[in-house]
Structure 1
């Protein structure tokens, strides 16, 4: 990955992280307000639910207490009636009394019954049955002989063990009291509509209900209820028997949640059960839920509006500035266009533009200086032709002429001419790679003649994709010259030089290796150190000169790199990375 791409990614990362951090911080500041509102809404719903539950429990206990007091009062009157002296005489002496006396006693009992019925709105009929008298006395039928319809409803209860004190049948509810071994039976019929009217006060919501039921839910007094819910209440009430503190619980039925309340009526042994859908209780708070939703939407809009304003006022100007910094490269510095709006960033833009202008001027001056320096170094390299090399060339021509090898003289003369033409001309600073390589091969042929062909050079061809690439002049020959002079100059033994080239993905590599034996590890380390810092060298010749020129033109990743060759001598690798 190139340095420019890395800088762009780092710039984008900083850009997005700062922008996102600002939005995140603002969102974090909004969240507590939102959370407090959510907490207040939840607390409000819990408060209303709790207060409604307390109110419902209080009302249930109040009405249950009032009903119990009324029924307890009626029970006491019924018990007192059984101790009436006229009733006792009539029960023991019936048939022995005169007709008038018997009628008088029955009339007095009838009056007592009327008093009991009139004592409470819950009593619709008060009656008594005396076995020895063989008649029933009631406020509805008066003194009636047996059998009659009213007594036949209750007659079957006399023989039961234990005898019931409450009887519910066909929508009619009776209080019963037995005396003298069931020879006297007092019965009071309660008003079901009056009881329903009292119970209805405990079910103020549409989806609610109340029932007055016995322990087995066989007797139920109610104006209307959901049988499924009552059946669920009955099942759970059995599981909660024996828990005196349980006066309410939550019932889940059909996906809904109901709050159940209960309170016993001791005077009759029955219990009042209430149920209400909790959605009914919190229904008044639904409007707050709507406002809470509105608050959520408004909070989202505020966050988006803040993000948009930050993007417009801060993020976009910073993004433009960072993008301008990303465009600043050593070989590509441009002055960005001025921000069209007058903002707080205008001062930064003016300073940045001035900085870029100064950088451009400095880079241009430095580039011109480096270009002039590179040209002078090339001229210096051209002028560093070893006169001894020229003398050896002429001497080899003389020696070949003496022995009559005129063809080799012609070849050597032609190659010397081509060689000196290439290194002495002052034309373009760049040549095609293929032409530069042919010049290096001319040098190899000349040196082969000089060393009497005891140095064998093996070289590969230039890869086809790289032949037309333009490269600086005289970058290959110094590497080969280094191998001849430093590896075989003072050695009479046969030697070998190997040239290999690769060209892939715009990366060109040329390796020059020899099998010389005079390269020590210290010498190799010193050469590597010089090539790693070619600018620190005062004398720019040979490999160091080539390395510096390549780095000036192609960057730090290009240059000359040396190491130990597999052949035993020096391996000098020339690398060019075309961008």
Structure 2
């Protein structure tokens, strides 16, 4: 949810890219999911197929071994074999040879009854001979004969594994420790390896028959490391008592699909491992095609991003930056490098707007200059007659007094400096130092007029800036006229300045007794809304409006109650 709100405030470029990815990524994810699910399904189907093949071949081995075990007693109870084994050398040579040929014939029939029988034998210790299906002149191998006896095999399985050879044997008598003879069938491990190889070798795999209790095994392959991993898997499944199923073996950075099946007759696990790449080759092709499709999607995304940036994002950013410059009063037209598309139209419309704004601003600026000069002339016209009358009246009084001639002389100088500033300086802006000097001249003239009745403290520090003409002296004049001139007691006037937050403040404070808090609040409101007043402006309102015309709406005059008890007027000027 937060990301959605974030996109709402982000750029159009991000929104378009987010929409493109929102459409592309689910499609790629769905394709990948289908590929993986298809691979899992085919892997499961192939695993079941291989497991069924393993079942078939293991069942074939079980059937052959069971058939041999069931028919073996028929050969053990052969009368000719019993007579030869019991009489031995007592039988004449002709008769013994005849009977042995019959025994060989029956052993040969047994050998040829199954492709898994390598040789059929009869071990006869009395004559120290081993009768084979095709030979009699073989001496009895005592070690082999002892290995073939019943006490050498488990009760649960009919097999004897001796020197990498596999036998099914039966002795007579069955319970006697030293039997008269032993009939044995040697199974063909080569044929069994061929059978195992038919399961998985044609796919690059390997099949092994593991008898984990007796420690013998028949392997169709030659990879010993893979053989050990398969054996480890068989031990794990035996410990878990799992008879059949399939699993995965990781070997040499490859995945091997491994199926296993337990045979209770052989007391063994048949395990087959086949590389997945051999059985899932088509899926690997599809997976490779999927990744190529992903790469193509990334290329399309980059291609789309490139043209989106070039055809939409950059022109849009160019237009946005131009609007931002316009907000900062930099009215610069856009270079039109596009003619017929929508951005070309927007650029032309923007340039037309800039041209119109420049014209309006120039006209408005000229009107403001005219208004400012008109306000200043109006103020000068209001000041001159009234103040001139007062000055001449004071000057006449000083001349009549014999002991005030020096003061009259000084007063004449002040009058000359005052009216020289008023009449000769026609510039709209003057240095602050000149404005302060004019205000001091006015204060000195009023000090001569009022004498010791008004105490003045003038503590204004000058700055190297230019200000509109006549912004301080009219405020001081208001203090004399409305607050200090009619006081019975001693009047106080304090003019001082401060620098704060890149602004210059001049404070004019008095201890007048006649203004109330309501009147101060009403005056402050008149100053605040002075730009909306259509009435004629004089004195403080005149100064306030001219300062705003010069510096902006956040500058001008504010009023409040002074610490001296009267009115405090604050003039806020910009240092820039």
TM range (shorter): 0.7 to 0.9
Which has the higher mean CA deviation after the structures are superposed, 380-389 or 530-539? 380-389
Aligned equivalents of 1:269, 1:329: Cα separation in 2: 90
Q: Which residue number corresponds to residue 314 of structure 2?
A: 316
Aligned equivalents of 1:294, 1:566: Cα separation in 2: 83
For the structure 1 residues 171 and 374, does the alpha-carbon distance in structure 2 shift closer, same or farther, using more than 3 Å as the test? same
Residue 53 (structure 1) aligned with residue 47 (structure 2): yes
SS in 2 for 1:341: coil
Q: In the TM superposition, what whole-angstrom CA distance separates every residue of 1:177-231 from its partner, at most 9, and x where no partner exists?
A: 2342252422111222222122122333786422112123611111434444444
Q: 2:473 aligns with which of 473, 477, 480?
A: 477
SS in 2 for 1:142: coil
Q: 1:486 aligns with which of 482, 485, 492?
A: 482
Q: CA deviation at 1:97?
A: 6.0
SS in 1 for 2:521: helix
Aligned equivalents of 1:268, 1:412: Cα separation in 2: 138
Structure 1 residues 397-412: aligned runs within 5 Å: 397-401=395-399, 402-412=401-411
For the structure 1 residues 79 and 568, does the alpha-carbon distance in structure 2 shift closer, same or farther, using more than 3 Å as the test? farther
Contact 2:431 2:466 (8 Å CA) reproduced:
yes
Q: Which residue number corresponds to residue 10 of structure 1?
A: none
Aligned equivalents of 1:48, 1:568: Cα separation in 2: 98
Q: CA deviation at 1:98?
A: 6.1
Q: Which residue number corresponds to residue 158 of structure 1?
A: 149
Structure 1 residues 329-348: aligned runs within 5 Å: 332-348=330-346
Q: Which residue number corresponds to residue 167 of structure 2?
A: 174
Contact 1:125 1:140 (8 Å CA) reproduced:
no
Q: CA deviation at 1:367?
A: 2.6
Contact 1:157 1:163 (8 Å CA) reproduced:
no
| Gaps in structure 1 of 5+ consecutive residues | 1-12
The count of aligned residue pairs is 561
Q: CA RMSD in A?
A: 3.2
Which has the higher mean CA deviation after the structures are superposed, 116-125 or 475-484? 475-484
Q: CA deviation at 1:356?
A: 3.4
| Gaps in structure 2 of 5+ consecutive residues | 1-6
Residue 117 (structure 1) aligned with residue 117 (structure 2): no
For the structure 1 residues 338 and 260, does the alpha-carbon distance in structure 2 shift closer, same or farther, using more than 3 Å as the test? closer
Residue 570 (structure 1) aligned with residue 567 (structure 2): yes
SS in 1 for 2:569: strand
TM-score calculated relative to the size of structure 2: 0.87
Contact 2:506 2:571 (8 Å CA) reproduced:
yes
Aligned equivalents of 1:330, 1:114: Cα separation in 2: 112
For the structure 1 residues 399 and 353, does the alpha-carbon distance in structure 2 shift closer, same or farther, using more than 3 Å as the test? same
Aligned equivalents of 2:333, 2:147: Cα separation in 1: 114
Q: Which residue number corresponds to residue 194 of structure 1?
A: 191
Q: CA deviation at 1:426?
A: 5.8
SS in 1 for 2:200: coil
TM-score calculated relative to the size of structure 1: 0.86
Q: Which residue number corresponds to residue 434 of structure 1?
A: 433
Structure 1 residues 450-461: aligned runs within 5 Å: 450-461=449-460
Contact 1:114 1:139 (8 Å CA) reproduced:
yes
For the structure 1 residues 354 and 282, does the alpha-carbon distance in structure 2 shift closer, same or farther, using more than 3 Å as the test? same
SS in 2 for 1:243: coil
Aligned equivalents of 2:377, 2:8: Cα separation in 1: 47
Contact 1:317 1:345 (8 Å CA) reproduced:
yes
Q: Which residue number corresponds to residue 303 of structure 1?
A: 301
